Amino acid sequence: MFHGETAITIDDKGRLAIPTSYRDLVARACGNRLVVTYSPFDTDALYIYPHHVWEALREKVNALPKAKRANRILQFKLVGAATFVEPDGSGRISLPASHRSAVGIDRRVVLQGSGDKFELRSEQAHLGQVHQILGDEDMDDDLLGLPL
């Protein structure tokens, strides 16, 4: 559903303008109801889910046995830190200061569509990830079964 990446500037009030190319899709897909939470895999990223996608994920995560530490971490990052947001009339969403601070987001960010969600990182963290992935020698044609 979501793909591509866009460099964006966070305004002084901590608002991110959803790119115009995504606004209609976000409105249709989830009635402008989004959820911002931490990435369970990276310490430098926020995930922005359509509300219905996050609800299904929340149910699965909350059903995991709480005796396992990894499950509690998922519950903390995905469920405990979740914040509901809706774009304003200008297509902006407010990102909580605590979330921005925790992942190192200040002004310049990259919003990347990742299928059923967006990933949000500082420009510096995004470049670091791109360089790491492009230099990853574990990737080959056989790994994905795709003609790359």
What are the pLDDT digits (tens) for 39-84? 998 899 999 999 999 999 999 999 999 999 999 999 999 999 999 9
Per the domain annotation, does 146 fall within a domain?
A: no
Total domains in the chain come to: 1
Residue 139 tokens, joined: 């990737």
Residue pLDDT, tens place only, 113-133: 988 999 999 998 888 887 777
Per the domain annotation, does 88 fall within a domain?
A: yes
The alpha helices in the chain, defined as continuous H runs, are 20-30, 51-62, 69-74, 97-103, 123-134, 141-144
Band the pLDDT of 148: cuts 50, 70, 90: very low
CATH of the domain at 133: 3.40.1550.20
Residue 45 tokens, joined: 């990223």
Q: What percent of the chain has pLDDT over 90?
A: 68
Q: Which residue in this structure is represented by tokens 């959820």? A: 35
pLDDT mean over 1-17: 93
The sign of the CA dihedral 131, 103, 7, 147 is positive
C-alpha torsion 19→25→29→35, nearest 10: 0
Give the domain range for residue 121. 2-137
